[in-house]
A and B are shown apart, each in its own frame.
Chain A
Amino acid sequence: MSYILKGKTNNWEIVVGLEVHCQIISNAKVFSGSSAKFGGVPNSHVSFIDAAFPGMLPHLNKECLYQSIRTGMGLNSKINLYSRFDRKNYFYGDLPQGYQITQLFYPIVGEGYIDITLEDGTKKRLRVERLHLEQDAGKSIHDRAPHLSFVDLNRSGVGLMEIVGMPDISSPEEAGAYLRKLRSIVRALGTCDGNMDEGSMRCDANVSIRPVGDKNLRNRVEIKNLNSVKFVMQAIELEAHRQLAIYEEGGHVTQETRLFDSIKMETRTMRSKENALDYRYFPDPDLPPVLLTQEEVDEIRRTLPELPEDRKNRFIKEYHLNEYDADILSGDNKTAEYFETVAKGRDTDKAAHWVMGDLFGALNKLGKSIEQSPVSPSNLGKLLDLMAKDVISGKIAKEVFELMLETGKDADIIVEEKGLKQITDTSEIEGMIDTIIAENPETVSEYKAGKTKLLGWFVGQAMKASKGKANPGLLNQLLTKKLG
């Protein structure tokens, strides 16, 4: 479905490109040996290098480079055998060097793409322009003293990957799908934890609109401070409508940077200083170029963790899932792992059904992630086994599952304790049927007179008498026989 803004004179389409900053998962910072861990005592994860003391020089953490390459591979991108670091010069309180080390001229990763699937099944390929490796800035706190800002450099120098998307996105929904897909890729690769609320994944959106059919791009607005997928989608929508209103009134959209305010639900212009900066990029003379060999790159590819896309295809092939289910179950590592533990050696259809239905529903209600699930995957597997071996019926299984959620106990223990084992003893079931037939002679004659629909009523009565534990197949078979 294309996303069109209807104006008075024109129909408008939106053009969006996202720039996403992903904090790299590594032990040490990208250009020093201090810890890259989040938080900590102020200025404790800081070396003289991070604090840009006189005479200090950066040195490269190989893992940060490799993490960038892995991510590039996840984005189906070209890995550049020649790349180089540049300095981006500007003054700010949390930027100790007075410049950020980044890669403008020769990034480590070149063009690639992300394939997205929208809710209605539409597929789209969104191109990625580049990924470059750079360092994060420190953090400043503004609310601890009236006239002072407090600077903590713990984050200063943590490795960042900036992923620059092409302006291929044409709806808020596509933007959301792009971000979620990107997040599932970096998480699958273990290169970034993708937590937007903690700021380990941060997004800026470049938004412009143009009349449908127009090929030229109009002035774009960069929106900063978008710390959730929802906010990104909302901000794009708001900004598109703001621009629409301006154009409809014959106005002009200024190319600028705006901030998204999720409380007032508006975008507003940032102080214009930010807009007029010349960052004076030049090659960092402290860092020689990164020269990779094809063998080195191939080796990284060989040891790459499975990507969500590959996993999805494998799920379809190996577990015979439909595309929709496979997409959901393969999206993140933990879910995929959970599902695979449940599905291995079992009815995969049932496994998918239980994970996506009962389990997801319950976790949703409890507000828990799959890692926090009170029911372990092996335990859910045991429950499925009990059903497969006719020890319990599907109906009882739901009851057992509820108890597993509450108690965290094993399925077989619950079945044992609560005496929920299915009755498969023919004589026991026959006894129950006999009693029901004896107590309801009129219904029996109605049935015999041809009202065969009443069989269901008899099944219900017998089930009730067995407290739901009678094996349904056996019960049916015996009832039909007895009722003649």
Chain B
Amino acid sequence: MAGIFTAAAHIPYLKIERKTIGGAWERGAQKGCRSVAGSDEDSLTMAAEAAGAALEAGGREKVQALYFASTTAPYREKAAAAMLATVLDLGGNMETLDLGNSLRSGLGALKLALDTAGDGKVLVASGEKRIGYPRSDQEQLFGDAGAAVLVGGGDAPVAYLGGYAVTDEITDVWRTQEDTYVQSWEGRFVTGEGYLRVTAQAVKGLMSQMGLKPEDIAKAIIPAPDPRSGMGILKKTGLSQAGEAVDSQLEQVGFCGAAHPLVMLAAVLEQAQPGEKILVAAYGDGAQALLFEVKSAPALPAVSVAQQLAKRGELKSYARFLSFNGLVEPQPGEPFRLVPSATVTWRERDSLLRCRGSKCQVCGTAAFPIQRICDHCRSMDQFDTVRLSSMTGEVFTFSRDNLAGRPDDPVIVQTVVQMENGARFYGLMTDADPNQVDLGMPVKLTLRRMHDLGGFHNYFWKCRPVR
């Protein structure tokens, strides 16, 4: 029987208080805060962070497929899953597939993985960064996050028991190809005839199919577009107790669309006890519900959701929030003297995307990016490549440049990092309070969207403090 080895979530470093958003419009605010993707994050980079953590926890061997799910993929035409497989430094001889257009695509990708894993492993990754209209409730309620689930057959510690699906065509919440913002029909129709009715149908259908009573379910993960609907669906399905058993900490993140059920699953698995049955559902033009049983404690990512939530930076400016979402265009900064090149990015993908450095076979000197000639002993073409993205490092030196960043995110921490294998990474730091940076600070590498030049997104690695 297929099951889950591990799940990981990436909660962006930045949060914004909902009252900051409401206050900007001189209107009321929902409670708490929501997560905000940094100016260098998108659905792909957030998924990559989570997927990297899942692979480190669950093991990267035998991964035969990678599915990426999002309604906000960075490209309309170009596979994010292929880029993800590359930045995760997985083999080329594997299946990759993007799933999108539906808030059910995250859970749907997980179901597809469970159905197809066989003896190997399948990695499901999702990232989401949906944009609500300025001044809307959604602007406050949405959150940005990434998640990943590592699935496989055989002895996976969290067994998949069964699923139930409902398809139900309805124009309740949508974005056309041209829309920036999420559109929706009248609220009572959306909630009553859409979310509540159809989600309940799937959840109840699954319980009936599996012969389960509400008290048999220890944890019910039923993502909701708003807290009120969330309580409503638990009441309607009789799962209030199982729903309340799920830590409500993700209220401090917001509703993360297609990624949300997987983000919640990662948080729940951190607390999972053997014998517990976990129900996960997702809604969108129908609904899907899956049932799992915890057989033994799953592998856990190095950094928990709670730890991520405890270490966040606050975005205090609504103007910067708008700018990070691409909704206002601040005054341009200094020009780039960088030449975008799809050819260079492709040719140097082992360093630029796979984050591999070289280690000299003759003298052992490690370097990043890959060097054909060793800087120390000048041996040519005698090196092994080594993945740096799995390692930690320490800040060797740094500076804080106040003028080099984007106008809406101006401070750049140039950093030289001493990696644990002796290589030096020379790049930028992200997800940090620049004033807290110091020598010896432990850091990890993280894939980020550097800039858009040449009409495409240029991704590369930065360092960030260990959370």
Are A and B co-members of a single complex?
no
List the interface of chain A (C-beta within 8 A of B).
none
